[in-house]
């Protein structure tokens, strides 16, 4: 009598490439994206400093407005790099990291509304979405499977 329970060879393939090749290709493309974001952030930082330098004596308020917007965009980029790094390290993306990126971007949008002519409905909608994301962030942190209870 033949025992089929010890065979581990599948009878069919559901993927074109092996898992190792798939991981290497994904890692390569994420690495390229990370390098592109690093270069974009470096150019943004240089542009931020040059803009502040040129706007200092005469138009400081406009320069500060641009600096705040650019800084929030750079912070959102840092959070995006964090998402990519978590994917490369643990093989998945944590929901909390995605919520962090969304929060930083939406808070940046709310700050940009401060300097622009804004509609009260836009501000209220932004505040509602940010509040909802904060609540989701708290819930996902509290009920995370990574969190061990002592």
CA 120 from centre of chain:
28
Residue 77 contacts residue 34 (beta carbons within 8 Å): no
For residues 97-122, average pLDDT: 81
How far apart CA 1 and CA 55 sit, in angstroms, is 86
- Pair of tokens at residue 32: 């390229």
For residues 66-93, average pLDDT: 83
Please write the tens of the pLDDT for every residue from 48-69: 888 777 777 777 777 777 788 7
User: What three-state secondary structure class fits 131?
Assistant: helix
- For the chain, how are helix, strand and coil distributed in percent, rounded to 5? 75, 0, 25
Please write the tens of the pLDDT for every residue from 4-47: 555 565 555 556 666 777 778 888 998 899 999 999 889 888 88
- Pair of tokens at residue 55: 């706007």
- Does the pLDDT of residue 135 top 90, yes or no? yes
- Pair of tokens at residue 115: 């300097």
Q: Where are the beta strands (DSSP E) in the chain?
A: none
Q: What is the pLDDT of residue 39?
A: 92
- Pair of tokens at residue 145: 């499977």
- The domains of the chain are located at 24-142
Q: State the pTM of this model.
A: 0.66
């Amino acid at each position: 009598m033949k025992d089929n329970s010890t065979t581990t060879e599948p009878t069919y393939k559901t993927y074109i490439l092996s898992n190792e090749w798939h991981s290497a290709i994904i890692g390569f493309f994420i690495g390229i994206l990370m390098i592109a974001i690093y270069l974009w952030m470096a150019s943004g930082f240089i542009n931020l400093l040059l803009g502040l330098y040129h706007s200092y004596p005469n138009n400081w308020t406009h320069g500060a407005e641009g600096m705040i917007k650019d800084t929030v965009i750079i912070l959102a980029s840092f959070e995006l790099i964090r998402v990519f790094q978590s994917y490369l390290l643990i093989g998945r993306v944590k929901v909390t990291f995605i919520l962090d990126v969304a929060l930083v971007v939406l808070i940046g949008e709310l700050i940009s509304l401060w300097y622009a002519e804004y509609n009260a409905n836009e501000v209220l909608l932004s505040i509602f979405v940010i509040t909802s994301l904060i609540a989701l962030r708290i819930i996902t942190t509290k009920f995370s499977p990574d969190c061990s209870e002592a």
